Structure 1
Amino acid sequence: MNHIRNARLRARKGLFSIAWTEGRITAVQPQADTLPILDGEEGVLDAGGQLVIPPFVEPHIHLDAALTAGEPNWNLSGTLFEGIERWAERKALVTPEDTKSRAHRTIRMLAAHGIQHVRSHVDVTEPGLSTLQAMLEVREEARHLVDLQIVAFPQEGIESFADGRDLMTQAVAMGADVVGGIPHFENTRDQGVSSLHFLMDLAERNDRLVDVHCDETDDPNSRFLEVLAEIARVKGMGSRVTASHTTAMGSYDNAYCYKLFRLLKKAGLNFISCPTESIHLQGRFDSYPKRRGLTRVPELDRAGLNVCFAQDSIVDPWYPLGNGNILRILDAGLHICHMLGYEDLQRSLDFVTDNGARALSLGDRYGIEVGRPANLVLLSAQSDDEMLRTQGQALLSVRHGQVIMSRRPAEVSLV
């Protein structure tokens, strides 16, 4: 296949033909009307007036922990902190072969739903960093299905974990693409602040992106986001820095948030919300009324800040469900965040496509434009809102000009 006809493109009127050669898009041309596929034409797909989009983006997932829920014990409290304890137990049993097998199985789940760009946090609080090495191998082995960014993620802290700084430095030297952090899990606030300065300096010296688990708690006094934003502002690194979760923002008072948003806009950070996981993990210490435990997604979006949705976990100690379908996350996120207004629905796919690509700094490696990689996904709907309403599916995924996934919709007969 090297040509798609009768395709709808987001934010563009009418139908389009898209052609590619040697894995690169060579033409994106408007059509005056529907064009038939003639007998004898080879390599041409009829999109039938359905949406063709750049691939879905999964900007925040933990592939190294995927498919481990209940091994050896379940997270019975449903809290973030017990999840970390359960993962510490499972981590003691991890082997490189185990890590790679589960990661590859999970990547295939993601690819089956039209995802081709993935950022995975990999726990580096482990002497020897064998799990990181295994995931670096997965990055190469799965290249035919996804582009995988790997975050050096200090699950048990940088300053609070023995040799935490050395392990982070080693992880970057080994080839981690992104520097991570978890300041709210450090033993003290001072250690949390110190960890942020350390990781931002590490990223700057090594020309790496940054993605920090930041204020993933309901505690309104957890305010590491302001520290991260100010460091990013001073260093001029905002577009390369992502604050993930920031669920404490849902507990901040409005007066503080008014001041905070002024800083966030100056810094220009990216934000990632994991709505299904956050609403599961947070609010656990509330009776009633219960907080939703999410960051202020609509407010961040309205302020012009880049915010996107992610799955976070698939069947692991923090979240027992998940199947790789990011449209499920989008649906839940828009409901949870009170974002079912007309304008939100018309551009809803932004939160799992363009916004995620921006957070991952994909630049001209993403998008349906001449000269860019021929990475395309055909959907089962003609618009963003129809895709949500019908709980649509990715029908075809093309990567570098080659079909890597196809799906036939289920047929229903009524009597």
Structure 2
Amino acid sequence: MLITNARLPKHDGLWDISIEGTRISSISESSSQTPRDPQVGDENTPSPQVEFSGERIDAAGRLVAPQFIEAHVHLDYANTNGIPRPNHSGTLFEAIEIWGERKDGGLHKQETIYNNAKQAALSAMSHGVGYIRTHVDVTDPTFAGLDALVQLREDLKDQVYIELVAFPQNGMYAYEGGAALVEQALERGASVVGGIPHLEPTRELGVQSVKHAFDLAEKFGARVDIHCDEIDDPQSRFVEVMAAETTQRSMQEHANVSHAVAMSYYNPGYMQRLLPKLRESQVTFAVCPNENLHLQGRGWQNPVPRGVAPVRELTEQMIPVAFCQDSMADPFYPLGNGDLMRIVDTGLHVSHMLTPQHMDSCLDFITTNPAYNLGITDHYGIEPGKDASLVIIDAATQQEVLRQGSTIVYSMHKGREIFRAKPAEVTWA
């Protein structure tokens, strides 16, 4: 397979990408420039058509990027919005109540979860996603959600990479037997240890839950991904516990902080002390701007806080930050279709990052950054020897992708074509 006349993120000119089997074999400068219609626009505008001819694809000056990474989503919750009832308050706490009612009310069935999750996964894949880290609620002795997603992971393994986080939605200690269920989930098919310390009964039990998550990670050789400080409370500071545990156990690059919305409330003095510790620990962050803008700040008087982690400050410290969907039509968030460019758009807006520098690297938040979250940097990216998992985007630059919300016209996962699509055409009268 040969992809010609491709533009690459942060590289000038046009490039040819050779693919052998499941991997990229070589990348070289294109021998010819892509013909252009002078009426289309300037030299940064791709030609009208991507051409497919056997084992050859002419990208026609379009951007080729690694397949997108969804680093934080809940596929087992997908497509459950309004069932058994809507979330009228829009709060995180009512969403958790509704989810509990769903589990207790006989609606939490493995077949239903599988079908809903598959629909959500395919929707994300249609927007260029090739890698998914999904949390799955294991505070359920039936393990209906976990078993459904283990089956989905197997069924879609040739089309998308899926890894499962053993997530105790109701707490390791707030829910009777929660810690044991997390361990059982790791034995049953999950590969990442989750947690939710800010919802444990006390600060002390929250700290204990973080430590126990790291204990399990060491026992199973797993990574850690904890829902951390997702609460409008400046005193919720479990992120410092995560950083300390990561450093003390020499688990750098193996722990991810999800949400961290309380960081947006921390005072400058504490942040000055915290940021170097985060950088030293090499934790990564998964930030969900759309969902946390929706959930946070409820009940506050003006000015209403944004409740989104300080992405710009983290990025300036060279800490990898991923932008993530989180939910797809569930009690926590009624929207979401897996289009990560919508999330990037919101994330850059709310983080005051619409500078040329940030817009020219906007895809980092859904490609190279979350590759660190998942620990796949050794085989991910547009480089010789790495997996041929890539997308062709109907745009010539990252700024254009951001501004236009451009279509994915081709997606490949480990050398296998996933889909091809045509951009919408408008015929003016």
- Residues 1:313 and 2:312 are matched in the alignment: no
Which aligned runs of 4 or more in structure 1 are off by greater than 6 angstroms?
none
In structure 2, C-alpha distance between the alignment counterparts of 1:182 and 1:346, rounded to whole Å: 34
Which residue matches 2:397? 383
Please state whether the residue corresponding to 1:239 is helix, strand or coil. Answer: coil
In structure 2, C-alpha distance between the alignment counterparts of 1:127 and 1:287, rounded to whole Å: 40
The answer on whether the counterparts of 1:5 and 1:35 sit within 8 Å (CA) in structure 2 is no
Identity value in percent:
42
Which residue matches 1:180? 194
The answer on whether the counterparts of 1:310 and 1:329 sit within 8 Å (CA) in structure 2 is yes
Please state whether the residue corresponding to 1:291 is helix, strand or coil. Answer: coil
Which residue matches 2:70? 58
Alignment of 1:25-64 (within 5 A): 25-34=24-33, 42-64=54-76
In structure 1, C-alpha distance between the alignment counterparts of 2:212 and 2:250, rounded to whole Å: 16
Contiguous gaps of at least 5 residues in structure 1: none
In structure 1, C-alpha distance between the alignment counterparts of 2:261 and 2:173, rounded to whole Å: 22
Larger deviation, residues 244-253 vs 254-263: 254-263
In structure 1, C-alpha distance between the alignment counterparts of 2:415 and 2:242, rounded to whole Å: 40
Alignment of 1:11-410 (within 5 A): 11-34=10-33, 42-92=54-104, 93-410=107-424
In structure 1, C-alpha distance between the alignment counterparts of 2:253 and 2:59, rounded to whole Å: 35
Letter in structure 2 aligned against 1:73: R
Letter in structure 2 aligned against 1:10: P
The answer on whether the counterparts of 1:213 and 1:244 sit within 8 Å (CA) in structure 2 is yes
The answer on whether the counterparts of 1:238 and 1:270 sit within 8 Å (CA) in structure 2 is no
The answer on whether the counterparts of 2:52 and 2:58 sit within 8 Å (CA) in structure 1 is no
TM-score, normalising length from structure 1? 0.97
The answer on whether the counterparts of 1:3 and 1:17 sit within 8 Å (CA) in structure 2 is yes
Output one character per residue of 1:203-241: Cα deviation in whole Å (capped at 9) or x when no partner: 011110110000001101111111111011101113110
Letter in structure 2 aligned against 1:173: E
Larger deviation, residues 18-27 vs 315-324: 18-27
The Cα of 1:40 is off from its aligned counterpart by 12
Tell me how large the CA RMSD over aligned residues is: 1.5
In structure 2, C-alpha distance between the alignment counterparts of 1:240 and 1:29, rounded to whole Å: 34
The Cα of 1:372 is off from its aligned counterpart by 1.7
Output one character per residue of 1:10-30: Cα deviation in whole Å (capped at 9) or x when no partner: 122211111112222112111
Letter in structure 1 aligned against 2:62: Q
Larger deviation, residues 123-132 vs 45-54: 123-132
TM-score, normalising length from structure 2? 0.94
In structure 1, C-alpha distance between the alignment counterparts of 2:115 and 2:237, rounded to whole Å: 38
The Cα of 1:142 is off from its aligned counterpart by 1.2
